Structure 1
Amino acid sequence: MGGNGASGTAADKRPNELLGSWFVRSGWSKGELARQVNRRARQLGASHISTDTSRVRRWLDGENPREPIPRILSELFSERFGCVVAVEDLGLRAAHQSPSVSGVDLPWTGPQTVALLGEFSRSDLMLARRGFLGSSLALAAGPSLVEPMQRWLVPTPGGGGAQAADSAGARRGGKLSPPELELLESTAVMFRQWDAQCGGGLRRKAVVGQLHEVTDLLQESQPEPTARRLFKVAAELAELAGWMSYDVGLQPTAQKYFVLALHAAKEAGDKPLGSYILSSMSRQMIHLGRPEDALELVHLAQYGSRDCAGPRTQAMLHAMEARAYANMGQPGKCKRAVRMAEDTFEDAEEFTEPEPDWIRFFSRAELHGENAHSYRDLAYVAGRSPTYASLAEPVMARAVELFGKDEEHQRSYALNLIGMATVHLLRREPEQSADLAAQAMTVARKVRSERVNTRIRKTVDTAVREFGDVTEVVQLTEHLALHLPETAMAV
């Protein structure tokens, strides 16, 4: 069991009360935790890891395991509790990492942005087994995440763009022709369409590979307008790589790409794109049970783009603000943000100027879906309130109807079917919930999205826990085992 080695001596060890507290609340046995660690280690390619109950007991007694076990434990407990459980929260010591794979407080300069994008994407491609790179990353949250992101608004001394591209590396090559540059820009559009149709698990490595190629071009001498356009392409690809990583459950990897994308957007001088990246980071924080962080990030996005983003982008930001307030249990502010999103979206419908492709996803269906999820989240936070569940139902129904007609956004269709299923559970209507969850499973088989699969499993678990004797729920569990078995997803 050499792969389970530990640091420290017996004299140093005292019971790890923090790890013990999380372990007791998890409801796992020592054997269950050992099996989960082994399974995750195999997914990471760390086949030398072989943990058993006695090893878990040693960790609880104060032994500090070597990497990647602390990161595996962090991921497992984070998933169990639906919030960020850092290595330090478990009373374990994280290994020292280089800036390319640790932290989010990075230099806001062009050359470093190019270098870090290149290094991180190369590492991701080389260590492309599921989560392998993520095992060396730590999720940032709270001030350690929000404060560095606030520097997005600080002007960069001496400019960026061409200067950054000119000094980022020693290689020099020929200038990109306009058709070549337009082709590169079109790849982000194409990959975004694939993600919406197929989920993040199918094309993620292709996006990372394209991002790495763009960073190579940024290391060559380019005219400033070309460099800015290349930084914009890099920002869009890095955001998409982050979004796809988030979609397949690689949360630390996703956050790192989002941060690097924001740096690239700053070099491109594209504040609306930066606000979109911050909204993706906000969505991830809501998913991880950090609504206060989500609200800080979306407010930063609103502040940074208030004078330059179009109404569709502003409507999307209001909808994300509502999600954060809902998860914080603030119904008045949530409802106000929902109204702002709806009113601003009406302006977007009449907006005649061209809009960037990355905001095209925010359709009326998406607006309804976001607002319905805000009401649904309020219902949960308010102790399963039937009032908020009733508010959510007609809005979610409209989202499901619209997405059902949209072949391009099948993942969103599945997510809203699941959302509607949870609303029916809140209203204590298990038969309707089971029917919608089964429909979601059918759609889920068409996309590669661990996020969709996880939400389906959680919804079915809730249905079984609350209505396990209902025939439709029993049939649903059989359907789940047959059509959506738990398997590791290649990325």
Structure 2
Amino acid sequence: MVIVASAASLRVYVSEWENGRRTISDHYAEILRALLGVTDAELRGKAKALPALTLTDGYDELIDRIDAAQNVSLTMVQTLNDQTELIRTMDRQMGAAGLVDQMTAHLARLENALTFAVLPTTRRPVALALAGAATLAAWQALDVGAVERAWRHYELGKRAAQEAEEPMYLAHATAEQAYVLCDAGRPETAVQLVRDARRLGGRTMSPRLIAWLYAAEAEICARAGFQDDCRQALELAMRHLPAGEDARDPDMLSIFLNEGHLARWRGNALALIGDDEAVENLYAAVRATDPTFIRASAGLRCDLAQAHWARGEYDQANEHLQQARLLASRTGSVRHRRRIEQITRRL
């Protein structure tokens, strides 16, 4: 049996709880949590809101949120995508370290819009926007060393891609997630995951995305020590890459890949397996690299240091490491700094 005060006393208690003149005891807190359907923190932190909560039970606020989400237009979704694109550009030129708060707020807006959207016609475009933003946020988190946050963002991106029924975005998020496993010291599992990404993408993927997936597989195979698989994946990447200078995939704006980018990727993978051909590819990539891709340039200098080290050319390796340090300091990339230190310890 639950023992409570008389009705007259309870009216006094409620008034005092509302005005902060009385603290809700554990006994009454247990009763009120069950009655109002709130947590203890909500109950004790929002005592003044108890009468309104009792009258509406939160339905009015929920309907307001649902109505607001229903009014999200394609124009609004495009605005959110434009914000993602702006963050991507800033990340490319400045690094991810200074964008954490901005990206967190952006993801929260997208998640909120999707949470309260009801009909598929509204949910799918918002989910697609969230998939792209979450995957970018995950790569940024990986770059600054926040590996668990990166993993969670990739999971969010994958769920959003499934919601949007967009297998290309699902494949991309899955393949990038494999890099988290690689950095965590599980390259063999990462190889399995990046290969599974191609299966998830199905037969509707663009040629450029297929080439990107094979290039990612080549790098991860190299890090796992699978030399033959690495070379085979590089050949398949070259075979599927569309000709021409265009780098951006019109079907998936997060994919940048042309012959210059692939030369850099090829050089990186070959350097990891100690192939002499790596240096030639990497210097070709230096000539082709967009100077605004600061983080990519830092990675390229790390690749050159790795390739020269493999050939016993330690002076050249140190020269590229010095440039890599300068670029990594500009972007705040923890990932590149870690790699620089790993190569430095070998010299």
1:253 paired residue number: 149
Higher Rg: 2
Alpha-carbon distance in structure 1 between the residues aligned to 2:315 and 2:111: 52
Q: Does the CA contact (< 8 Å) of 1:421 and 1:433 recur in 2? A: yes
Deviation digits for residues 132-155 of structure 1, max 9, x if unmatched? xxxxxxxxxxxxxxxxxxxxxxxx
2:52 paired residue number: none
**More moved, 335-344 vs 439-448:** 439-448
What RMSD, in angstroms, separates the aligned Cα atoms of the two structures? 2.1
1:216 paired residue number: 112
1:419 paired residue number: 303
1:356 paired residue number: 252
1:173 paired residue number: 67
Alpha-carbon distance in structure 1 between the residues aligned to 2:238 and 2:219: 14
Deviation digits for residues 194-244 of structure 1, max 9, x if unmatched? 111122211122111111011221233454222101011111121122111
Equivalent AA in structure 2 for residue 448 of structure 1:
G
1:185 corresponds to 2:71:
no
**Match for residue 279 of structure 1 among 163, 169, 175:** 175
Equivalent AA in structure 2 for residue 295 of structure 1:
V
**Match for residue 231 of structure 1 among 116, 119, 127:** 127
Deviation digits for residues 171-204 of structure 1, max 9, x if unmatched? 3223123322210121111111111112221112
Q: Does the CA contact (< 8 Å) of 2:242 and 2:258 recur in 1? A: no
Q: Does the CA contact (< 8 Å) of 2:95 and 2:332 recur in 1? A: yes
1:428 corresponds to 2:312:
yes
1:391 paired residue number: 277
Equivalent AA in structure 2 for residue 313 of structure 1:
L
Alpha-carbon distance in structure 2 between the residues aligned to 1:235 and 1:362: 20
**Match for residue 160 of structure 2 among 264, 277, 287:** 264
Alpha-carbon distance in structure 2 between the residues aligned to 1:347 and 1:303: 24
Equivalent AA in structure 1 for residue 258 of structure 2:
S
1:474 paired residue number: none
**Match for residue 369 of structure 1 among 250, 258, 264:** 264
**Match for residue 273 of structure 2 among 378, 400, 423:** 378
Alpha-carbon distance in structure 2 between the residues aligned to 1:233 and 1:256: 17
Q: Does the CA contact (< 8 Å) of 1:312 and 1:348 recur in 2? A: no
Q: Does the CA contact (< 8 Å) of 1:396 and 1:420 recur in 2? A: yes
Q: Does the CA contact (< 8 Å) of 2:77 and 2:129 recur in 1? A: no
Q: 1:458 to 1:221 in 2, by over 3 A?
A: closer
Instruction: Specify the SS of the correspondent of 2:330.
Output: coil
Once the two structures are aligned, what percentage of the paired residues are identical?
A: 24
Q: Does the CA contact (< 8 Å) of 1:208 and 1:237 recur in 2? A: no
Residue 400 of structure 1: how far off its partner (Å): 2.1
- Name the one with the larger helix percent: 2
Equivalent AA in structure 2 for residue 396 of structure 1:
L
5+ residue gaps, structure 1, are 1-168, 380-387, 464-491
Q: 1:234 to 1:348 in 2, by over 3 A?
A: farther
1:323 corresponds to 2:323:
no
Instruction: Specify the SS of the correspondent of 1:173.
Output: helix
Instruction: Specify the SS of the correspondent of 1:358.
Output: strand
1:460 paired residue number: 344
Q: Does the CA contact (< 8 Å) of 1:218 and 1:230 recur in 2? A: yes
Alpha-carbon distance in structure 2 between the residues aligned to 1:232 and 1:435: 43
5+ residue gaps, structure 2, are 1-61
Equivalent AA in structure 2 for residue 395 of structure 1:
N
Instruction: Specify the SS of the correspondent of 1:407.
Output: coil
Residue 325 of structure 1: how far off its partner (Å): 2.3
Residue 417 of structure 1: how far off its partner (Å): 0.6
Q: 1:250 to 1:221 in 2, by over 3 A?
A: closer
Equivalent AA in structure 1 for residue 265 of structure 2:
E
Q: Does the CA contact (< 8 Å) of 2:178 and 2:193 recur in 1? A: yes
Deviation digits for residues 103-133 of structure 1, max 9, x if unmatched? xxxxxxxxxxxxxxxxxxxxxxxxxxxxxxx
Q: Does the CA contact (< 8 Å) of 2:207 and 2:241 recur in 1? A: yes
Residue 353 of structure 1: how far off its partner (Å): 8.4
Q: Does the CA contact (< 8 Å) of 2:207 and 2:240 recur in 1? A: yes
Alpha-carbon distance in structure 1 between the residues aligned to 2:213 and 2:173: 11
Alpha-carbon distance in structure 1 between the residues aligned to 2:260 and 2:156: 30
**More moved, 322-331 vs 178-187:** 322-331
- Tell me the TM-score normalised to structure 2 length: 0.76
Alpha-carbon distance in structure 2 between the residues aligned to 1:289 and 1:209: 31
Q: Does the CA contact (< 8 Å) of 1:282 and 1:320 recur in 2? A: no
**Match for residue 408 of structure 1 among 292, 299, 316:** 292
Residue 289 of structure 1: how far off its partner (Å): 2.4
2:321 paired residue number: 437
Alpha-carbon distance in structure 1 between the residues aligned to 2:90 and 2:320: 25
Alpha-carbon distance in structure 2 between the residues aligned to 1:322 and 1:398: 19
Alpha-carbon distance in structure 2 between the residues aligned to 1:458 and 1:277: 27
Equivalent AA in structure 1 for residue 292 of structure 2:
E
